[in-house]
Amino acid sequence: DELFREDLRHINTESDSEILLNVFAHELQAVAKLTLSPDHLFRAVAAVHRRCRGAYAVTMLIAGVGILAYRDPYGIRPLVFGKRET
């Protein structure tokens, strides 16, 4: 309800992933108007941590930027990110 009422976002499913994505998108839009910097991403993730309680690990691809990965602030859900040299 909060996402719909306060953030004006429509949630199509009951998936936690969709909620996390929409919270992140809303917070990123609030801090990064025209450009995108690492600081904007860190600030948006910090806002997700303030708003979303529970255990989660998230990876997302931001077009033209790269991959962003984060987990809940208490590290309840593990997150491992690796790179394979080919």
Domain residue ranges of the chain, discontinuous segments joined by +: 2-53
Q: 28-67, pLDDT tens digit by residue?
A: 989 988 889 999 999 999 999 999 899 999 999 999 999 9
Q: Share the mean pLDDT of the chain.
A: 87
What's the full length of the chain, in residues?
86
Please give the pLDDT value at position 34: 83
The candidate with the shortest Cα–Cα distance to 42, out of 31, 34, 53, 51, is 31
